[in-house]
Structure 1
C-alpha cells in the first residue's frame, strides 16, 4: 500500500487557551527558541535541529492537538502518498501544494484512523542550526511523540499500512494485554508510539538532549522552575532511552530524553516486554513508581480536534 517512505518526524502543533503562559514555559523553562510569530501563533525551534520548528503553539478557545507532521524526500513522494491515500478512501484535508509556514515546502494534510490531523511534506528549507555544546541543557531535536488510542492494534495497523511504519517493540501486561506499540520510520527505535486508553489524546511529546549530563541538567532546570514532574528520572527498556516527564501549563506531558537505541533493519526482531517487570519501565530503578496518578495524567484530556481540521 505505501508508495512513499516517511523519513522523519518534523513537528507537533498544539492549540491552547492561555497562549502567553504556554509560550513562556516552552521558551524560558523547556529551552526551545521562538523563531516566528503570526497573530497568536508561535513557532518554536530546537537549537540543534535543522527543522524550522518542532512545536507550533496556537491561541484557541479549547486545548487540542492541531497536527503532527512528518517528512518525505521529494514532492513526487508527497503526490504519490496523497494519491494512494485518497484512492483508498482516506479523507484528505488539503491537496498537495505549497506550504505557507516557515521554511515553505510542499505538502498536504489528512485524517488518520483516529481523527488526528497528519501533515506530510517535502522540500522544506532547513533552518540554520548549531551544535549543542557539552553541559548545555537545551533540546537538540524533537525525538518522538506518543498518542493514546482506544484500539492500538487498529491504529498500529493503519500506520503500518498507509504510512510505512514498522513495529519495533511492544509492552504487554499479563492481565490487560498489549499496552503500547513502538513504531519506527528510520533507524531510531521509535518516532511514534501508541498507548492504550479510553479516548484519543496526546500521551507525550519527547525532546532529545545531547547526552545524559545535559538531560539531567535540563531536568534539574525544569524542577527548579517549578514545572510539575510526573515521572523520572529513569531509563526505559524499550528504546533504552532515559526519561523524565513533566506537565506543561495545559496538562500535556513532555519528556526529556537521550540515548535512544538505533535499530539494525537486517537483524532486528520486535520484543514483547512484560510491563509487570520493574526494569521494563525503569532499568535504573531511580524513578518514582508508575502509579494511578502518573497513568491518569498520561491519558490527558480527550482530544477536541478529532476529525476537525485545525483552522491553519
Structure 2
C-alpha cells in the first residue's frame, strides 16, 4: 500500500433533472444549509462541519454522480498524488491547480477504475460552523459514501493501490460471495465502501447526526414528512453505526447515522461478516429485514457519469 495522501471525505456532487424538488428536499427536509448558489449549482453545508459544503447539487438533463471529493493535507501531497496516478496511467480529468468553488484550494480530478470522477484538494478554507445543539435533528457532517461496482475486489484493490485506502471489514454471503468492502482513509471505520451491484452507481450517502436522540428525531421527521424509508432504524455490526435509509426525490438512497466506530489502525484486523446473519445487518433487531427488495433499491439507476467528466 502506498503512503496515504488522502485525509478525509469532503463532499459528494450530484446532478438531477428536477433541481428545485431536490434542493427543497435537501434543505427543508434533510437539514442541510445552502451556502452558495451559482446558475443552477447549489453548495449545501452541514451546520456542524468545517467543510465549506458536503453536497453539491447541479441541474442537469440526466441524474448522475458528478464527483466524489476527498481532502489532502498540502498542495505538495496533491502534486505527489497526481504524479503517482499519471505514472500508473490513471486517466486525469484536470491537472492540479486552483479550485474555483467555495473555499478555494488546490486540487485535481481523475477517473477511478469504474469511471467515476474523483477530486482531491488541499488548502480549502474552513467554514465558520457551529455546535449542533441537543435535540437538533440536522446533520453534523458527511459520514461516508458507498459506491456500487460490478467487481468490488477490482475496485477495492484500485483504491488501495492508488489512493492508500485500507480495508476495515467485508460483508459476504454463502450464496453470493463478497458483497461489500468497507474502506478507510483515517481511523474512521469507513469513509468509502464498495458494494456489489449490476452496474456502477451510487449506493448511498451517509450523514452523521449529533447522537442517538437526534438521529431518531431526524428519522421520525422524515417518516412524518412522508419520505419513503427503505431500511431502519437499526445498528450495523460492521462499523457499529446506527442507520436509517431513505429515498430522495430522484431515487438516491440517503442515510442518517451516528456513532461510527473509530479504529486503532495499528491493531485492527479486518473481519468478514456473514450478511445473512440478522445480527450482522442489525444488532438491535429493530429494522425491517434486509431482503431482495431493500437491496434492489440500493442498486440505483446506472450512473450516466461513467467516464464522462462533469461540466463544472
TM-score interval for Structure 1 and Structure 2 normalised by the shorter chain: over 0.9
Structure 2: gaps (5+ residues): none
Question: For residues 235-275 of structure 1, what are the alpha-carbon distances to aligned partners after superposition, in whole Å with 9 as ceiling and x for unaligned?
Answer: 00000000000000000000000000110012111011011
Task: State whether structure 2 residue 226 is matched by structure 1 residue 226.
Answer: yes
Cα distance in 2 between the residues matched to 1:133 and 1:164: 35
User: Using the alignment, how far apart are the partners of 1:6 and 1:222 within structure 2?
Assistant: 33
The TM-score with structure 2 as length reference comes to 0.99
Closer, same or farther: CA 50–14 of 1 in aligned 2, 3 Å: same
CA shift digits 1:43-68 (9 cap, x unpaired): 00000000000000000000000000
State the Cα deviation string for residues 157-210 of structure 1 (Å, max 9, x = none). Answer: 000000000000001101111000000011100000001011000000000001
- Indicate the SS of the match to 2:144: strand
Contact 1:3 1:80 in 2 (8 A): no
In structure 1, the residue matched to 2:257 is 257
Alpha-carbon separation, structure 2, partners of 1:260 and 1:241: 4
Secondary structure of 2:86's match? helix
- 1:197-228 Cα offsets, whole Å, 9 max, x none, are 11000000000001000000011111111111
Question: What TM-score do you get using the length of structure 1 for normalisation?
Answer: 0.99
Paired residue secondary structure (1:21): helix
Tell whether the 8 Å contact from 1:4 to 1:78 is kept in structure 2 after alignment.
no
Residue 97 (structure 2) pairs with residue 112 (structure 1): no
1:215 equivalent to 2:199? Answer no
Report matched runs for 1:190-209 at 5 Å.
190-209=190-209
Q: Which residue of 2 aligns with 1:73?
A: 73
Q: Distance in 1 between matches of 2:289 and 2:4?
A: 41
1:5, 1:72 within 8 Å by CA — same for their partners in 2? yes
| Alpha-carbon RMSD | 0.7
Length, aligned pairs only? 312
Alignment map for 1:85-96 (pairs within 5 Å): 85-96=85-96
In structure 1, distance between residues paired with 2:84 and 2:235: 39
Cross-structure match for 1:61: 61
**1:75, 1:107 within 8 Å by CA — same for their partners in 2?**
yes
Tell me the CA shift for residue 2 of structure 1.
Answer: 3.2
8 Å CA contact 1:201–1:299 kept in 2: the answer is yes
3-state DSSP class of the match of 2:218? helix
2:146 is aligned to 146
Spell out the pairing of 1:117-196 with structure 2 (5 A cutoff). 117-196=117-196
Tell me the secondary structure at the aligned position of residue 299 of structure 1: coil
Q: Name the SS of the counterpart of 1:58 in structure 2.
A: strand
Residue deviations 1:142-169 (CA, integer Å, cap 9, x gap)? 0000011000000000000000000000
Question: SS of the counterpart of 2:57?
Answer: strand
Moved over 6 A (4+): none
Could you say which residue in structure 2 is the equivalent of 1:307? 307
In the alignment, what sits opposite 1:284? 284
Is the Cα–Cα contact under 8 Å of residues 173 and 179 in structure 2 kept in the other structure? Answer: yes
Offset, 1:5? 1.7
Alignment partner of 2:82: what SS? helix
Structure 1, unaligned runs of 5 or more? none
Give the secondary structure class of the aligned counterpart of 1:118: strand
Separation in structure 1 between the aligned mates of residue 179 and residue 88 of structure 2, nearest angstrom: 29
Structure 1 residues 4 and 182, CA, compared in 2 at 3 Å: closer, same or farther? closer
Structure 1 SS opposite 2:6 = coil
Report the 3-state secondary structure (helix = DSSP H, G, I; strand = E; otherwise coil) of the residue aligned with 1:128: coil
In 2, the alpha carbon distance for the partners of 1:81 and 1:208 equals 28
For residues 2 and 113 of structure 1, the distance between their equivalents in structure 2, rounded to whole angstroms, comes to 17
Aligned 8 A contact 1:234 1:287 in 2: yes
